[in-house]
Amino acid sequence: MARDGGKRAVLIAGPTASGKTALAIARARTRGARIVNADSMQVYGVLDRLTARPNAEELMQARHEMFGHVDPSVRYSTGAWLADAHKQIQEADKENQELIFVGGTGLYFDALVNGFAQVPAIDPEFVRQAEKLIQDRDEAGRMAVLVERDPETARRLKVADPQRVVRALSVLMATGKPLSAFQDANGPGLLDGYALERIVLMPERALLRRRIGERFEAMMQAGAIEEVEALLALDLDPSLPAMKAIGVGEIAAMLRGEMDREDAVERAVTATRQYAKRQSTWFRNRFGDWTFTDPFAG
């Protein structure tokens, strides 16, 4: 189905396990839209079930793009994602097709709507150094490091999640300039001129916690263990983003005999719930003008 006049896009964000895939497919089938992935872990190949990418049946129901299209050996940046997203936007425009961006990576949505700092490519060594600086620190500790080294960027961050702090620190190390200096030179967002429907799915907390636990157990039964075995067989740098996907470390420890299955599941579920909490906080702080809805209410 072609869009009925004007450029339109739907942005569906939310914490992990909040029902984003189901809503995106329902919308896509109604409008004939293409679904574009906006989740930083679902871009990687190999980790199909562990990152909760749409399954084969779901993929058949609508056109999906940018899911599992990046080799896990690659450090896929926000800039690279935007370049790929730009191609999808151009193709959809030529086909007079609506777009649905769906995922849990707030930075991707922020860049789509508000523009993105064109930072030079950062040597992975600086990323590793930044990661070591905040290793084992909680949110307050991460913020303290950033305040000391880049107070202006720290002032702009409402949530000191690891990804954003590492980005800020590695940019400073590599360029000698604070990330805020690049952000001040942002261009327009890729969806500038589009009519946007912006949705954040925010289920009731107890239900979300339960869904996370049930989903991870289902992942284990559906092949997550075999996926981690395949990933480990690639002998990749452990600092790569794909190697840090929630569940990889826990299942790897189980495979090495360092913990049993029950402990691995419990730790991965706990980590996922903590991640969902950080996502929810980020969305509330940054996307206050979006429509928040509980997809399971009533």
Looking up residue 92, the CATH number of its domain turns out to be 3.40.50.300
- Proportion of the chain above pLDDT 70, given as a percent: 97
Q: Is the pLDDT of residue 8 over 80?
A: yes
Residue with tokens 């913990």, as numbered in its chain: 259
87 has binding-site annotation: no
* pLDDT number for residue 189: 87
User: Could you tell me which residue, 274 or 182, shows the higher pLDDT?
Assistant: 274
Same domain, 92 and 229: no
17 has binding-site annotation: yes
15 has binding-site annotation: yes
Q: Is the pLDDT of residue 123 over 70?
A: yes
What is the C-alpha separation between 37 and 152, in angstroms, rounded?
A: 31
Same domain, 61 and 136: no
Same domain, 145 and 250: no
Same domain, 38 and 98: yes
Same domain, 215 and 261: yes
Same domain, 83 and 193: yes
Same domain, 23 and 134: no
Same domain, 197 and 93: yes
**Enclosing domain of residue 20:** 8-117+188-202+284-293
* pLDDT number for residue 136: 86
* pLDDT number for residue 78: 87
* pLDDT number for residue 1: 45
CATH number of the domain encompassing residue 216: 1.10.287.890
Tally of domains in the chain = 3
Q: Pairing between strand 99-103 and 291-293?
A: unpaired
The model's pTM: 0.82
Q: Is the pLDDT of residue 159 over 80?
A: no
Query: CB pairs under 8 A, 24+ apart, for 270-273?
Result: 271/246, 271/247, 272/16, 272/17, 272/212, 272/216, 272/246, 272/247, 273/209, 273/212
What is the C-alpha separation between 27 and 57, in angstroms, rounded?
A: 16
Residue 2 lies in a domain: no
Torsion of CA 127, 15, 274, 116, to 10 degrees: 20
277 has binding-site annotation: no
14 has binding-site annotation: yes
16 has binding-site annotation: yes
